[in-house]
Amino acid sequence: MTGTDARILEMLERKVLWLATWMIHHANHLRRNTDNLKVGGHQASSASLSTIMTALYFAVLRPEDRVAVKPHASPNFHAIQYLLGRQSRENLEKFRAFGGAQSYPSRTKDTDDVDFSTGSVGLGVAQTLFASLVQDYLHAKGWGEKAPEGRMIALVGDAEMDEGNIFECLQEGWKHGLRNTWWIVDYNRQSLDGVVHEGLWERFESMFRNFGWDVIVLRHGSLQQAAFALPGGEALRAWICACPNPLYSALTFQGGAAWRKRLLDDLGMDQDAQALIESFSDEQLSAVMANLGGHDLPMLLEAFEAARTHDRPVCFIAYTIKGYGLPLAGHKDNHAGLMTPDQIQRLRERLHIRQGHEWERFEGLDEAHALLGSFLDAVPFAQDGARRHRAAVQPVPTMPPLSPQKTLSTQQGFGLLMHEIGKQKNALADRIVTTSPDVTVSTNLGAWVNRRGLFARANLADTFRAERVVSTFNWSFSPDGQHIELGIAEMNFFILLSALGLSHALFGERLLPVGTLYDPFIERGLDALNYACYQDARFLVVATPSGITLAPEGGAHQSIATPLIGMAQDGLQSFEPAFVDELSAIMGWSFDYIQRSGDDTPDRRTCLTDDKGGAVYLRLSTRPIEQPVRPMTDPLRQDIIDGGYWMRHPGPNAELVIAYSGAVAPEAIEAVGLMAEDRRDVGLLAITSADRLHAGWNAASRLRESGDREAISHIERLLREVPQDCGLLTVQDGHPAALAWLGGVMGHRTRALGVEHFGQTGSIQDLYRHAGIDVEGLLASAQALSPARPIRY
C-alpha cells in the first residue's frame, strides 16, 4: 500500500465516523418526528468499529467475501456503502424511518446488498460459520468451482459473545473441519448496561484455540508500542495490561488530565515512567492511551492480510473503545446515548464539515476529489457489481408413486417419498441436501441417508459395516454425501437451514434443503427460524411427530402451539396433511415454491400471498391411519395446495360441518358418519393448510377494500356452499385458535376444538378423550352447537 493510499484510508475512516454519527443525529434531532419517540441509533457502538470496517471494506475484502455486521454498527455499513456508490443519500436521511436505511442490516429491507441480516444478536455470527460449511459443501460437489473461496466474516460485539448459540455452533464447526471463517470481536469491554468482566478475552482465546481456531489479539496500537520502547515504557505496558476495564473506560471518558493524574499516582515512583508520561501533552497522552489495536489501521491491515494466506478459522480479538473519536468515548451510559447539538458542532469543526454540506461524500477530506473517487472505484470489494447471485431453477418432476398401503402415517409417507426421490437420477435428487439435529432415524430420513450418504470433505468409512456388524443403516461419510449430520441443538439446525437456503444468492448455486426435527422442538430454535425467514432463506422443514398424538412420550414431547407458529411466521408456508397423497402433492409443490423468485407476479385470481416463494413447514404425525383410495386429479391437487377441500360436500340443508386438520382425520370422519344417521347433508372439510387459507382470505379482503369486488379466496369459495345457519365445528391436534377464525369468513356459528394444556402420557384414545377431540367429544360439541332433529322423510 502506498503512502497516498494509507492517507486516503485514514481520511475515509474519519468520513465513516462522521457520516454514521451525523446520520443518527439527523434522525433524532433534525428530521421531523411525528410521534415524539426517540429514534436512537447507537453512535458509540458504531464508532468502536469505524476503523475495523474501514480497513475491511476499503482494503481487505474481496467480492467473494461475506460479512455479518454487528447490528449496532449498521450506520457504519450504510455510510461505507454510500461512499462506494451503493447507497443513496435519501436512504441515509431516512435512517430508521419508513423505507430508509434499516436500524440493523437487513437482506430483505435494505437496498445496499447486505450479506447476512443481523439484529437478534449472535445469529448473524453463527450464520457465517454455517455459510462457510455450505461453501465447502458446494465445492466438494464440484459446483461453483470457478468462483474463488470467500471468507465468511462476522463483526462481533464482545457482549454478543454471551449468546448461547455462538458456543453451540463452535462445536459443529470443529466437527466439520471449519475453514475460511473470521470472527472479529469488537472488544470495547462495554455492554448495554455496564462493563464486561475482567479477563474475558483470555477465556475467549482459550475456547477458540480448543476448537482449532487461530487467535490473534490486537491490543496495543503503534503509538502505544512506540511508547513501550522508550525508557519507562514497560512499566506503562504493565499498568495498561493490569488496568480494570471499568477504570480504563472511565479515564478514557475523562481525558488526558485524568490519565496523567492516575498514571503519575500509580507510576510516579518510577522515574523513567514519570518522565515518559510528562513528555506527552494532555492531548497526546489521551491519544496514546486510546491507541488500541482495533483503532490502528496499519496493524489491522497487516493482521488481516496475513490471515488471507491460509484457510484456517481465525478469531481476532480487537481491543477498541466504545465511542472512539466521540465525546461519548468510554462513558458507561454511552450505549443508547446521543450526542448533543453542541457536541455535534464541535465534531463538525474538528472534521472541517461545512454547514449545509454534511452529506457530501468528500466533504472535509484533504485529497482531490478525483483522487478519492479513483481510489473508491478501485476498491477490491466493489469490483464485481451486485453481490446477490441468481441461480438456475431446478425442475421438479412429479413425485414418485408409492406402493399402496392400507394404513400409513404421514411421517412414514415422508420417509418413503424421500427414499423414492433418492433412487432417482435427476437434478432434484442431486440438489436436495438434508439435515437433522440428531433425530435423522426417528424422523424417517434413514432410508434417504442409506441411499445418498452422509457429507464430509474427506471419506470416512462406516465402522460397523467394516466390522461386519449387521445394522439397518449403513452410513459412510464422503464428499458425495447429501446429509449433514448435526448434534442435538435446534438453533444450529435452523441456522444451517438458513445458510443452505441462501446458497443460491450467496454462492450462485441452488440447493434444496430439507430439515427434520421433532415438532415440539421448533420452539427451541424459534429465534433462529424467525431469523432464517427474515433473510428469505428457502428450505423445507419437516416437523414430526406432533401433538398429543405422540401419546406415550408425555407433555415434554407433545406440541400445542406449533400450528399457530406456522400461521404467524412470515416467510413460512405451513401445512398439516392427514394423508400421504396430500403430503406427496404438497412436497412436489414445495420443491418448486422454495425456488421461486421475488420477481414473480402475485396471482390475483387465487388471492394468495405466496407467489414470491419462501420456506415451507410440514407438521406430520406418527399415527398410522387408513389411506383413501382416490385418483389425484389436478383440481384435488390444487385444492390441497391452496389449503383445503371437501371430503364430503355439505348439502343445501346442512346443519353442521366438521372442519379438521391432520391426525384427527379418523375421528372427524367417524363423527360425520354417525351424525349422518340423524342429520341431513353434514359436510366434512379437510384443512391441509390453515395458514394458506387465512392468508388468502386476508389478501382477498384487502383487494376488495381497494376496489376489486370480484376478488375471492379459496376458503370463501369452499364455505359459500355452506348454508348461513349451519354450525361449523373445527378440530385439530393443536391449539384450537388455529382454526377458530373460520367462523369469521362467512359468519357461521363456530365451536373450535383442540388442545390448550400440556399433555401427559397415555394412549391416543385416553389423551383425545381428555382433550375432548375424540369421537364422543366431537358428537357432544356438535349437539351443543347445532342440536340434532329427527330426519323426516
pLDDT, tens digit (0-9, with 9 covering 90-100), for 521-569: 999 999 999 999 999 999 999 999 999 999 888 888 899 999 999 999 9
**Continuous segment of H or E residues that includes residue 692:** helix 690-705
Residue 412's identity, in one-letter code, is Q
Looking at 508-616, list the stretches that DSSP marks H as alpha helix, in order from N- to C-terminal side.
526-534, 562-568, 580-593
Residue 790: its pLDDT value, please? Answer: 59
Looking at per-residue pLDDT, the higher value among 471 and 686 belongs to 686
pLDDT tops 60 at residue 329: yes
pLDDT tops 50 at residue 604: no
Under the banding of pLDDT at 50, 70 and 90, the label for residue 13 is very high
Question: For residue 319, what are the β-bridge partners?
Answer: 187
pLDDT tops 80 at residue 507: yes
Note the Cα 36 to chain centre separation in Å: 31
| Residues 364-390 as b or e (16 or more Cβ within 10 Å = b) | bbeeeeeebeebbeebebbeeeebebe
Residue 37: its pLDDT value, please? Answer: 84
Whole-number Å distance between alpha carbons of 41 and 31: 14
**Continuous segment of H or E residues that includes residue 645:** strand 644-648
pLDDT tops 80 at residue 758: yes
Q: Where are the beta strands (DSSP E) in 662-726?
A: 683-687
pLDDT tops 70 at residue 765: yes
pLDDT tops 80 at residue 385: no
Average pLDDT of span 483-506: 95
**Can you read off the three cell numbers belonging to residue 677?**
344417521
Residue 197: its pLDDT value, please? Answer: 64
Residue 601: its pLDDT value, please? Answer: 46
Q: Look at residues 131, 138, 102, 134 and name the one whose alpha carbon lies nearest to residue 116.
A: 131
Whole-number Å distance between alpha carbons of 391 and 505: 7
Question: For residue 732, what are the β-bridge partners?
Answer: 661
| Candidate from 147-156, 245-254, 459-468 with smallest mean pLDDT | 459-468
Strands 152-157 and 540-543: unpaired
Under the banding of pLDDT at 50, 70 and 90, the label for residue 438 is confident
pLDDT, tens digit (0-9, with 9 covering 90-100), for 448-463: 999 999 999 988 877 6
CB 675 within 8 A of CB 779: yes
Residue 468: its pLDDT value, please? Answer: 62
Residue 610: its pLDDT value, please? Answer: 55
Looking at 68-199, list the stretches that DSSP marks H as alpha helix, in order from N- to C-terminal side.
74-83, 89-93, 123-140, 164-175
pLDDT tops 80 at residue 351: yes
Average pLDDT of span 317-330: 91
Average pLDDT of span 181-186: 96
Residue 283: its pLDDT value, please? Answer: 94
Under the banding of pLDDT at 50, 70 and 90, the label for residue 649 is very high
pLDDT tops 60 at residue 103: yes
Residue appearing with cell numbers 343445501 = 652
Whole-number Å distance between alpha carbons of 753 and 771: 8
> Which residues lie below 8 Å from residue 107, measured CB to CB, with a gap of 6+?
114, 115, 116, 117, 534, 535, 536
Looking at per-residue pLDDT, the higher value among 460 and 748 belongs to 748
CB 687 within 8 A of CB 719: no
Looking at per-residue pLDDT, the higher value among 45 and 688 belongs to 688
Residue 466: its pLDDT value, please? Answer: 66
Residue 195: its pLDDT value, please? Answer: 56
Residue 441: its pLDDT value, please? Answer: 92
Q: HEC string of 274-339? A: HHHHHCCCHHHHHHHHHCEHHHCHHHHHHHHHHHCCCCCCEEEEEECCCCCCCCCCCCCCCCCCCC
pLDDT tops 50 at residue 600: no
pLDDT tops 70 at residue 571: yes
**Can you read off the three cell numbers belonging to residue 410?**
404421514
